[in-house]
Amino acid sequence: MTDMPDISTACKAKYDLLQATLRKMEHVLVAFSGGVDSTLLLRVAADVLKDRVLAVTALSDTTPNHEKQDAETLARSMGVRHLRVQSEEMSLPSFVANPPDKCYICKKSRFGHLMEVASEHGIPWVVDGQNKDDDDDYRPGALAAKELGVRSPLREAGLTKTDIRSISKALGLPTWNKPAYACLASRIPYGHAITPEKLRQVDAGESYLRELDVAEQVRIRYADDTARIEVEPEIIDRFMDQEVRVQVVSRLKALGFKFVALDLEGYHMGSLNRSIDTSVDRQGGTPGEGVADG
Nearest residue to 97 via CA among 196, 193, 198, 222: 193
Percentage of the chain surpassing pLDDT 90? Answer: 77
pTM: 0.86
Residue 3 is predicted with a pLDDT of 63
What CA–CA distances, in Å, run from 28 to 53, 220, 237, 258? 5, 35, 46, 47
- Pinpoint the alpha helices (H) of 50-186: 65-77, 93-96, 102-120, 141-148, 153-156, 161-170
* Domain range annotation of the chain: 9-170, 184-268
The CA angle 7-8-10, to the nearest 5 degrees, is 125
pLDDT band at 270 (very low <50, low <70, confident <90, very high): low
Q: Distance between CA atoms of 128 and 110, rounded to whole angstroms? A: 12
Q: Is the predicted pLDDT of residue 224 greater than 90, yes or no?
A: no
pLDDT band at 86 (very low <50, low <70, confident <90, very high): very high
Q: Which of 69-73, 115-119, 210-214 has the highest mean pLDDT?
A: 115-119
Burial of residue 88 (CB within 10 Å: 0-12, 13-18, 19+) is: middle
- Who's near 21: CB < 8 A, 6+ residues apart? 153, 156, 157
Residue 287 is predicted with a pLDDT of 28
Query: Average pLDDT over the chain, rounded to whole?
Result: 89
Q: Is the predicted pLDDT of residue 4 greater than 80, yes or no?
A: no
pLDDT (tens digit, 9 = 90+) per residue, 129-173?
Answer: 999 987 766 677 888 999 999 999 999 999 999 999 999 999 999
pLDDT average, residue stretch 25-38: 96
Residue that wins the pLDDT comparison between 210 and 278 = 210
DSSP code of residue 179: P
pLDDT (tens digit, 9 = 90+) per residue, 279-292?
Answer: 444 433 322 223 33
What CA–CA distances, in Å, run from 107 to 5, 13, 141, 208? 38, 30, 5, 29
CATH number of 184-268: 3.30.70
Percentage of the chain surpassing pLDDT 70? Answer: 88
Q: What are phi and psi of 81, to 5 degrees?
A: -60, 135
CATH code 3.40.50.300 for 9-170 = no
pLDDT average, residue stretch 214-233: 91
pLDDT average, residue stretch 8-26: 96
The CA angle 160-234-69, to the nearest 5 degrees, is 55
Q: Distance between CA atoms of 18 and 23, rounded to whole angstroms? A: 9
**Tally of CB atoms within 10 A around 197:** 10
Residue 215 is predicted with a pLDDT of 80
Report helix, strand or coil for 176: coil
Q: Which helix (H) or strand (E) holds 205?
A: helix 196-211
Q: Are 83 and 55 in contact (CB under 8 A)?
A: yes
Residue 22 is predicted with a pLDDT of 98
Q: Is the predicted pLDDT of residue 216 greater than 90, yes or no?
A: no
**What crossing angle do the helices spanning 36-49 and 9-25 adopt, rounded to 10°?**
60
Q: Are 82 and 76 in contact (CB under 8 A)?
A: yes
